């Protein structure tokens, strides 16, 4: 059972941005959001990268950045509109033709997503990004989910505002880029492990990386980079 919204909000309120890299903090934000909204299959966070381009900075499932990439390429989508207009955008059934966001809708349906909820992250009347939730059910998000999502987005906005204030906008952007690069290396390493052991799931592959990192007392991305490096220099690799 997911924790009550109050527990999720309390967890968000306890973040100390100086205790962990920004990327790790925001990753925990999306994880808490999925845990708190029962119908959310996965979540992602839309923000700007160092080149002022929209990107899915952190996510709980690889499908989030894949779906979002289509709206970024098209320049239109619910995550972008939630950010730009600072309003919540709820899409009920993406399997039906959706003239407003055709590229986004097709990407969702192709990956088993039927409805979405995009919530703006706002600090001092400035749109900082959007928290995006995805459901495999049509009309997966009701009014109560929207209310809960707005509370989570508000708390996440406070975390983000604190991070900007503490680290500064430039360093924040650099940390996010590093977080995304780390995520890419981890995904590569998972692919290498799954290719070597076809019965291994993505979660199992990540667990192997995590346990190795714990044993060696290093970060998961360091173990992942080593796995990828070894694969690249292997005979025939």
Could you tell me if residue 14 is inside a domain? yes
Residue 190: what are its φ and ψ, rounded to 5°?
-60, -40
**Structural domain ending residue among the three candidates 167, 190, 216:** 167
pTM of the model: 0.69
Could you tell me if residue 51 is inside a domain? yes
DSSP label of 3 = P
Band of pLDDT at residue 104, cut at 50, 70 and 90: very high
Could you tell me if residue 173 is inside a domain? no
* β-pairing verdict for 54-59 and 42-48: antiparallel
On the question of pLDDT at 164 being above 70, the answer is no
- Whole-angstrom Cα distance, residue 58 to residue 44? 6
* Residue 64, pLDDT score: 92
H-run or E-run covering 146 = helix 143-167
- Whole-angstrom Cα distance, residue 100 to residue 77? 8
- Residues 163 and 108 reside in one and the same domain: yes
* Residue 75, pLDDT score: 93
- Residues 109 and 223 reside in one and the same domain: no
* Residue 111, pLDDT score: 93
- Residues 96 and 26 reside in one and the same domain: yes
Q: Which residues have a Cβ under 8 Å from the Cβ of 158 and sit 6 or more positions away?
A: 12, 13, 123
On the question of pLDDT at 167 being above 90, the answer is no
Specify the CATH number for the domain of residue 185: 1.10.10
Domain count, the chain: 2
Could you tell me if residue 174 is inside a domain? no
Closest listed residue to residue 53, CA positions, set 77, 73, 33: 73
* Residue 10, pLDDT score: 56
* Residue 79, pLDDT score: 94
DSSP label of 98 = -
**Structural domain ending residue among the three candidates 167, 199, 221:** 167
* Residue 11, pLDDT score: 58
On the question of pLDDT at 237 being above 50, the answer is no
Question: Among 85-89, 145-149, 209-213, where is mean pLDDT lowest?
Answer: 209-213
* Residue 88, pLDDT score: 95
- Residues 140 and 28 reside in one and the same domain: yes
| Mean pLDDT of all residues in 97-101 | 81
What residues pair up with 130 in beta bridges, in sequence order?
Answer: 46, 120
- Residues 202 and 102 reside in one and the same domain: no
Could you tell me if residue 172 is inside a domain? no
- Whole-angstrom Cα distance, residue 233 to residue 122? 46
- Residues 137 and 191 reside in one and the same domain: no
- Residues 100 and 154 reside in one and the same domain: yes
* Residue 138, pLDDT score: 94
- Residues 102 and 185 reside in one and the same domain: no
pLDDT tens readout for residues 174-221: 656 666 666 778 888 888 999 889 888 887 888 898 888 888 888 787
| Mean pLDDT of all residues in 65-82 | 93
Band of pLDDT at residue 1, cut at 50, 70 and 90: very low
- Residues 152 and 195 reside in one and the same domain: no
- Residues 70 and 148 reside in one and the same domain: yes
Containing domain of residue 213, as a range?
180-233
Contact present, 124 and 102 (Cβ < 8 Å): no
């Amino acid at each position: 059972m997911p924790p009550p919204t109050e527990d999720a909000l309390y967890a968000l309120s306890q973040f100390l941005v100086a205790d962990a890299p920004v990327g790790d903090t925001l990753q925990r934000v999306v994880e808490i959001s999925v845990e708190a909204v029962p119908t959310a299959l996965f979540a992602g966070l839309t923000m700007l990268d160092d080149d002022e381009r929209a990107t899915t900075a952190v996510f709980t499932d690889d499908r989030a950045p894949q779906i979002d990439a289509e709206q970024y390429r098209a320049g239109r989508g619910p995550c972008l509109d939630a950010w730009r207009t600072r309003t919540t955008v709820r899409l009920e059934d993406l399997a039906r033709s959706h003239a407003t966001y055709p590229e986004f809708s097709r990407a969702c349906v192709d990956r088993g997503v039927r409805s979405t909820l995009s919530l703006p992250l706002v600090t001092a009347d400035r749109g900082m990004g959007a928290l995006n939730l995805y459901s495999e059910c049509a009309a997966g998000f009701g009014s109560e989910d929207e209310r809960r999502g707005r509370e989570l987005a508000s708390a996440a906005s406070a975390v983000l505002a604190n991070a900007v204030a503490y680290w500064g906008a430039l360093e924040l952007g650099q940390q996010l880029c590093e977080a995304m690069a780390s995520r890419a290396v981890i995904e590569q390493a998972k692919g290498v492990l799954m290719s070597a052991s076809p019965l291994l799931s993505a979660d199992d592959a990540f667990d192997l990386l995590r346990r190795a990192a714990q044993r060696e007392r290093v970060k998961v991305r360091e173990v992942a980079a080593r796995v990828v490096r070894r694969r690249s220099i292997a005979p025939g690799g």
